[in-house]
Structure 1
Amino acid sequence: MVDSASLFERAASAPPVPSGLPLVIALTGFTDAGGAVSQLIEHLRDDLESLPLAVFDNDILLDFRARRPIVTFDGDKLTDYQPSRLEFSYARDAVGQPFLMLTGYEPDFAWEAFGRAVLGLAEQYGVSTVTWLHAIPMPVPHTRPIGTTVSGTRTELTAAHSVWRPHTQVPGTVGHLLEYRFAQRGTPVAGFILLVPHYLGDTEYPAATLAAFDSISAATGLVFDGDDLRARNKEFLVRVEEQVRESDDLTRMLHGLEERYDAYMAGSTSATPMVHTGDLPSADELAAELERFLASRPTGDEDKRPGPLG
């Protein structure tokens, strides 16, 4: 059995942390439709005042051959090496409210030991609630709000925000494991699954990250500045809608998605209309139609983010 205490190193100059703070968990891994979680992590780390409390050991938890570190090659030499980061941190939101966050990659190994380590840190810091997020592709239109499926023990959040409540078995993530373990301990926990348009699943879709922030705010009362994301999303949607207008096939496809979404939200009795695709297009078909407009980025963006379609 792996010793959970060996999985991380405590920060040497960690600040004093008040007890009773909410914990936000954002880990990339099995699915991240629309780049919702990866963009969320970027904003949490870069835009907020945060300090690591514990840094997890990549050599124990990460498969480097599956997720390789980034190196910078400059002419005849290497000038930078950027390993992946998995950190438990103390942060403040846009109005100065403190909270804790666990951000980074989903571990490839030692899930149970990782879970024990996270629960131990949460207990040490007296975490009040736990909120985690991930995003999956769904046959829904981008012209409607991004919905969520909410799991966990906070029934008030499920009642208010869960638009789809399936009875099924799915491949688990470490987020599911953490939710399950926190629930066993009696910690109030909520998991938000963002339902992202499947044809935009391989893009960096700013609306998906805005929906992630909205979910965190609903669960914790934390406040985030989404002005940059809203501006990016407005530009993104203009480009999508231009392409839709130019294609009769895309227009018909989008109308089909809208009709099924609206029927579902109105309480249609049709069998699982949100997941029964029938004659609806596949993600690949829609992505191929959109590629001409969405594959290009303004000059300068290529060195910041991967291309929207891979």
Structure 2
Amino acid sequence: MREPEGLYELTPHAEDVPTGIPLVAGLTGFADAGSAVQQLAEYLAETVDLVPIAVFDDDELLDYRARRPIIEFEEDHLTSFTPASLVLSLGRDEIGKPFLLLTGYEPDFQWNRFTAAVIGLLDRFGVTSTTWVQSVPMPVPHTRPMQVTVGGTRRDLIDSMSAWRPTTRVPSNVLHLLEYRLAEQERQVAEFVLLVPHYLSDTELPAAVSKGLEVVSAATGLLFPIDALRDRSRDFFARVDEQVAGNEELGALVKALEDRHDAYMAGNPLRSPLVDGEGEVPSADELAAELEKFLAIRRSHDDDA
């Protein structure tokens, strides 16, 4: 096998990567119900200052005929060519904590070599944990908090957050192979599968993005701005509720899904330790306020002692 390092080029910013930081990953090309992974990558690109660290070679990894690049045509000439991209970037969350982010397309070719290349980059930068997100359509109602299936080696996350634990055979994602190789090496890796209402799987679902950020935060301690996502999600579901209310057949479907969901969760009452009573993650400002409150109480106790 050719050297894995030949699949990518490091940028000058690779020298700026601190050691001991987490990797977050999400690649498009398989399932992606609710466009969760695509939206997650776009949202982070909009809200986090990302600097490319390693850029992978499209000509080695991408089947252009299966996922054709976009060409812009204006009247009588071509104005732009937008190639696909697969990039490892360095970012910082709302409180300045650094992390690596792997986003872009899922490779069509050379999975073993690509996986070896990613593991080599993890070694190079001393990555402490790997967290990746995907989404699948499920017969669940939009009127309940979105649930996840958790895989990997993080027993704490599996026990506290995995609402559905199937034993099954499924088509794999290249990140499944990465997870498998990391587990063989007894490294910290967590896979989060977002369970998206099947009747909304073809939409761009804001709740899937906020849930993706929630589980990444739970796994890594990173904090991201989500207030805008919460507002978008409420507006989106308000429109869905209007449609459900005006369609008796759809209303009956949602009611049946609610009953089945509630019966299942009654025997499996899992909640993320990061969510509030409404099933939402606090904002960075809210968490900072709680931290200040905790520190003030602790200082008071220290002074009394």
TM-score where L is the length of structure 2 = 0.86
Which residue matches 1:18? 18
Q: After alignment, is 178-187 or 126-135 more displaced?
A: 178-187
**Aligned residue in 2 for 1:164:** 164
For 2:82 and 2:152, the matched residues in 1 are separated by 35
Q: CA separation in 1, counterparts of 2:223 and 2:75?
A: 44
| Corresponding letter in the other structure for 2:260 | R
- In structure 1, the residue matched to 2:84 is 84
The DSSP-based 3-state class of the residue aligned with 1:120 is helix
The letter of the residue matching 2:243 is Q
Q: Distance in 2 between matches of 1:221 and 1:80?
A: 39
Distance in 2 (CA, whole Å) between partners of 1:210 and 1:70 is 28
How does 1:1-310 map onto structure 2 within 5 Å? Answer: 1-267=1-267
The answer on whether the counterparts of 2:13 and 2:51 sit within 8 Å (CA) in structure 1 is no
* 1:204-241 deviation line (CA, Å, top 9, x unaligned): 00001110000000000100111222222122111111
Identity %: 53
* Further displaced range: 213-222 or 234-243: 234-243
CA distance in 2, matches of 1:81, 1:152: 38
Residue 46 of structure 1: how far off its partner (Å): 2.5
Q: Residue type of the partner of 1:204?
A: E
User: How many corresponding residue pairs?
Assistant: 268
Residues 2 and 110 in structure 1, CA contact (< 8 A), matched pair in contact too: no
CA distance in 1, matches of 2:22, 2:2: 27
Specify the SS of the correspondent of 2:67.
Answer: coil
**Counting helix residues as a fraction of each chain, which structure ranks higher?**
2
Offset of 1:15 from its aligned partner?
A: 4.2
What's 1:277 paired with?
A: none
Match of 1:14, SS state, is helix
Q: Aligned partners of 2:227, 2:71: CA distance in 1, in Å?
A: 31
Q: Output the TM-score relative to the length of structure 1.
A: 0.84
List structure 1 segments (4+ residues) > 6 angstroms apart after TM superposition. none
Query: Per-residue displacement from partner, 1:107-154 (whole Å, max 9, x unpaired)?
Result: 000000000000000000000011001000000000001100000111
Structure 1: gaps (5+ residues): 269-310
Aligned to 2:280: none
CA distance in 2: counterparts of 1:40 and 1:207, whole angstroms: 11
**Is the 1:22–1:100 Cα contact (8 Å) retained in structure 2?**
yes
Aligned mates of 1:147, 1:99 — CA distance in 2: 25
| Secondary structure of the structure 2 residue equivalent to 1:49 | coil
> Partners in 1 of 2:8 and 2:186 — Cα distance?
25
Structure 2: gaps (5+ residues): 269-305
| Preserved contact between residue 111 and residue 174 of structure 1 (Cα < 8 Å) | yes
The residue type paired with residue 65 of structure 2 is: R
